[in-house]
């Protein structure tokens, strides 16, 4: 069942198009992340959904109802901001209850629903605590509870973990995913952090220059990126520029300086023999292989149980490999290889 449908939704400021005409459908209870660099249009799209911006053209349909021209207060939408936007003069209970009081719910309904949603975000027992006495992670949960308690048609989140330190951010990512699986709610989440998108999302929309470049599950985007931009944005990548030498029966060959790559089940829509393209090879697929290609270890980076190696091939090509500590060679000269089925050819972007 479609919960949200966007038809030709776009935004221009004068002659500048910040959001190109967009068609997008979100299923009921689906968690969608808008992932992209600054200026890609993701926050603009979120603000149109929230009613803070009017689209230049197009329609926004929520629950089968056209809300494109509906004022913000007329939309049943929950919003979690990066700054949390909590009321410092109100305690936890009253912050969460605020939206319910605006909707003129009875004291009895409020007394029932606020504790329920606080239990969901694991903040029960904090009802009368002052906002300033809470940690950043606790404030983030209160902001999430305030958005959830009104039972919105869509839950919108604009980089809500940006103010948290790295470890707390990872913990809260897992908590948000846990809550979503326990209580599925149609969610649109804006982030520039690929890890957040990979951990929490059912599907991810990668945006660039006001357009959705590719949309799919985390596995789809990681294993079958549409182009080099998506490949670089989702995970670590070796992108080797070369020329297409062969395209036949799902197999391909790409000539790279000093190297000829064989590809099985290649990507790359519209490629032709002789065209410029890039081979995608993920660092975790570059492994030591006796009798393989000779490589020199130019750099070692210790990452805990993982060690990243920058490898130089005789033709001058540089590759990254990520190995568990036990697999890291002691010598600066090693032989490497990979499974051809793990290589994709992507059109240059």
For 21-58, how does the pLDDT look when each residue is reduced to its tens digit (9 = 90+)? 999 999 999 999 999 999 999 999 999 999 999 999 99
Query: Which of 2.40.50, 3.30.450, 1.10.10, 3.40.1350 would CATH assign to domain 236-347?
Result: 2.40.50
DSSP 22-91: EEEEEETT-EEEEE--TTSSHHHHHHHHHTSS--SEEEEEETTEE-TT--GGGS-EEEE-TT----TTSB
Q: What pLDDT sits at residue 320?
A: 96
Query: Helices 107-120 and 92-102, interaxial angle, to 10°?
Result: 130
Query: Is 154's pLDDT higher than 90?
Result: yes
Query: Is 68's pLDDT higher than 90?
Result: yes
Q: What is the mean pLDDT of residues 168-190?
A: 89
Residue length of the chain: 349
Q: What pLDDT sits at residue 264?
A: 78
Q: What is the mean pLDDT of residues 8-32?
A: 95
How confident is residue 77, by pLDDT bands cut at 50, 70 and 90?
very high
Q: What pLDDT sits at residue 341?
A: 86
pTM of the predicted model over 0.85: yes
Q: What pLDDT sits at residue 257?
A: 86
Query: Is 249's pLDDT higher than 80?
Result: no
Fold of 2-230: Rossmann fold (3.40.50)
For 84-136, how does the pLDDT look when each residue is reduced to its tens digit (9 = 90+)? 889 999 999 999 999 999 999 999 999 999 999 999 888 999 999 999 999 88
Q: What average pLDDT does the structure give for the chain?
A: 90
Angle (CA) 117 120 123, round 5° = 85
Instruction: Report d(CA 304, CA 23) in Å as an integer.
Output: 43
Q: Give the three-class secondary structure for 20.
A: strand
* R_g over Cα of the chain: 24
Extract the tokens encoding 11.
Answer: 């935004």
How confident is residue 164, by pLDDT bands cut at 50, 70 and 90?
confident
How confident is residue 73, by pLDDT bands cut at 50, 70 and 90?
confident
Q: Is the dihedral of CA 337, 339, 342, 345 positive or negative?
A: positive
Q: Give the three-class secondary structure for 122.
A: coil
Q: What is the mean pLDDT of residues 328-346?
A: 88
Extract the tokens encoding 124.
Answer: 């029960």
Higher pLDDT among residues 176 and 211, named by residue: 211
DSSP code of 284? G
For 252-303, how does the pLDDT look when each residue is reduced to its tens digit (9 = 90+)? 889 998 888 888 766 655 678 888 888 899 999 999 999 999 999 999 999 8
Among the ranges 115-124, 151-160, 203-212, 333-342, which has the highest mean pLDDT value?
203-212
Domain parsing of the chain, residue ranges: 2-230, 236-347
The answer to whether the beta carbons of residues 183 and 147 sit under 8 Å apart is no
């Amino acid at each position: 069942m479609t919960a949200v449908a966007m038809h030709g939704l776009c935004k221009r400021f004068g002659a500048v198009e910040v959001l190109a005409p967009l068609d997008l459908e979100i299923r009921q209870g689906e968690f969608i992340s808008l992932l992209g660099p600054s200026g890609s249009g993701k926050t603009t799209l979120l603000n149109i959904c929230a009613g803070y911006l009017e689209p230049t053209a197009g329609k926004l349909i929520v629950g089968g109802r056209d809300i494109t021209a509906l004022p913000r207060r007329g939309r049943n939408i929950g919003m979690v901001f990066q700054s949390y936007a909590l009321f410092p003069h109100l305690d936890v209970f009253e912050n969460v209850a605020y939206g319910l009081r605006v909707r003129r719910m009875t004291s009895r309904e409020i007394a029932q629903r606020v504790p329920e949603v606080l239990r969901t975000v694991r903040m029960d027992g904090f009802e009368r605590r002052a906002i300033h006495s809470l940690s950043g992670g606790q404030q983030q949960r209160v902001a999430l509870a305030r958005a959830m308690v009104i039972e919105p048609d869509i839950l919108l989140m604009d980089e809500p973990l940006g103010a948290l330190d790295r470890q707390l951010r990872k913990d809260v990512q897992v908590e948000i995913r846990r809550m979503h699986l326990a209580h599925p709610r149609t969610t649109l989440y804006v982030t520039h952090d690929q890890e957040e998108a990979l951990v929490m999302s059912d599907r991810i929309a990668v945006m660039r220059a006001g357009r959705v470049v590719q949309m799919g599950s985390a596995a789809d985007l990681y294993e079958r990126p549409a182009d080099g931009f998506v490949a670089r944005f989702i995970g670590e990548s070796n992108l080797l520029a070369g020329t297409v030498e062969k395209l036949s029966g799902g197999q391909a060959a790409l000539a790279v300086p000093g190297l000829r790559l064989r590809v099985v089940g290649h990507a790359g829509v519209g490629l032709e023999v002789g065209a410029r393209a890039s081979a995608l090879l993920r660092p975790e697929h570059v492994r030591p292989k006796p009798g393989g290609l000779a490589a020199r270890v130019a750099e070692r980076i210790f990452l805990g149980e993982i060690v990243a190696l920058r490898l130089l091939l005789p033709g001058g090509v540089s590759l990254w490999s990520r190995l568990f500590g036990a697999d890291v060679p002691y010598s600066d000269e090693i032989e490497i290889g990979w499974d051809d089925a793990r290589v994709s050819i992507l059109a240059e972007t």
